[in-house]
Amino acid sequence: MPGPKWTPLKILMLPVYALQIVTGEKRFIENPILGSVRLNRKGLHVWRVKAAAKIAAARRKRLSDLIPKAEQVFFAENGYIERRNFLPPEMFARLRAEVEALRAPAREMTQGKAVTRRLSLTPEVLRDYPAIRALVDSNAWSNPLRYIGGFKAEPVISIQTIFGSETDEGKGKDPQTDLHMDTFHSTVKAWFFLYDVPEDEGPFTYVAGSHKLTKRRLAWHKRRSILASERGDNGSFRIPAEDLHLLRLPQPTKFAVPANTLVVGDTFGFHARGKSARPSVRVEIYASQRPNPFLPVVSLDTSILPFVRGRKEVIGWFVEDCMVKLGMRRQIWKDVGTASPLDPR
């Protein structure tokens, strides 16, 4: 089967495609080197997975004073950490009251029947919400993200509301309900749940231990990379729950957790939105961080620039808008003006 087609433009772009081998670029469809069936049969994708994992482990080692030893051991075994009663009750009550009063520039993304709304927490927004600002400025919030992500970089932070629907396996299926890994390397996401998450209302689910690069996982990556090159895949590999045993992995853990719980996970591990018995609304403070996985240093961060600090989310929206105007991509995050996390849809 052929991989991506070579065109004159693609030949001209060859040096860029070659450089992308040592970046976070994950799409097999765009880049004829990353998407080459022949090179992936020879182990190109597997080399990227192994090299990025080795570098992430080395960076994480240098950040080992950021979280308690017991949590490091738990993370190494499971791929996530969970902190219940994360904030003292009065601080949590103040924070939640601010989130309920918050109005800020918002965007929404639709996947199947599910809608994700994000409100940006820029310095201008945070000026009026001291309890939210205190949280995102705190080491208790940042350090697990830094350790698991392996970078002392500022994460992309927003207030996220997920309007879930009853699980639908048909046309309205939410792709987030399929178990998947985000990309070929270790990367961090955090959810600070502001309300109780019922078990049957689409909780976050994670396959414990699936962040580990075992021999079976590497062999699976090799097979998947060849298939992805043939088909032109986006690089977020999926796995049916019934295949997990082939990688000696358990069924997913459901995070049906009480309000005031922080979960931070490595989304190289398999995860998904759990099944929902009814329409649901989940509100959380959400963060992610994904610098170049091949960077050996822990402290290179664009947020040292004053116009970037606290604005990574809105810069992402701006870049997307520009690319849409140039016809280079379709709009994913639609501008819905100023909104509250709790405004109904």
Site residues (CB under 5 A) for Fe ion? 182
Between CA 215 and CA 52 the distance in angstroms is 16
At its nearest, how many Å lie between Fe ion and the CB of residue 180?
Answer: 6
SS3 state at 231: helix
Residue closer to Fe ion, measured from CB, 45 or 271: 271
Q: What are phi and psi of 45, to 5 degrees?
A: -60, -45
At its nearest, how many Å lie between Fe ion and the CB of residue 306?
Answer: 31
- Residue closest to Fe ion, measured at CB: 182
Counts of helices then strands in the chain (DSSP H, E): 11, 11
Residues 6+ apart with CB under 8 A from 261: 82, 83, 84, 85, 86, 192, 193, 255
Residue closer to Fe ion, measured from CB, 71 or 182: 182
At its nearest, how many Å lie between Fe ion and the CB of residue 233?
Answer: 15
Between CA 47 and CA 222 the distance in angstroms is 10
Between CA 268 and CA 279 the distance in angstroms is 28
At its nearest, how many Å lie between Fe ion and the CB of residue 283?
Answer: 19
CA-to-CA separations, 256 to 139, 186, 197, 199, in angstroms, rounded: 25, 24, 5, 5
End-to-end CA distance of the chain: 45
Residue closer to Fe ion, measured from CB, 56 or 188: 188
Among residues 239, 282, 227, 237, which one has the least CA distance to residue 259?
A: 282
At its nearest, how many Å lie between Fe ion and the CB of residue 2?
Answer: 29
Cβ neighbours around 150 below 10 Å, total? 26
CA-to-CA separations, 222 to 79, 149, 248, in angstroms, rounded: 22, 24, 17
Residue closer to Fe ion, measured from CB, 73 or 332: 332
At its nearest, how many Å lie between Fe ion and the CB of residue 206?
Answer: 10
Residue closer to Fe ion, measured from CB, 81 or 132: 81
Residue closer to Fe ion, measured from CB, 72 or 187: 187
Between CA 112 and CA 279 the distance in angstroms is 13
Residue closer to Fe ion, measured from CB, 188 or 298: 188
At its nearest, how many Å lie between Fe ion and the CB of residue 272?
Answer: 8
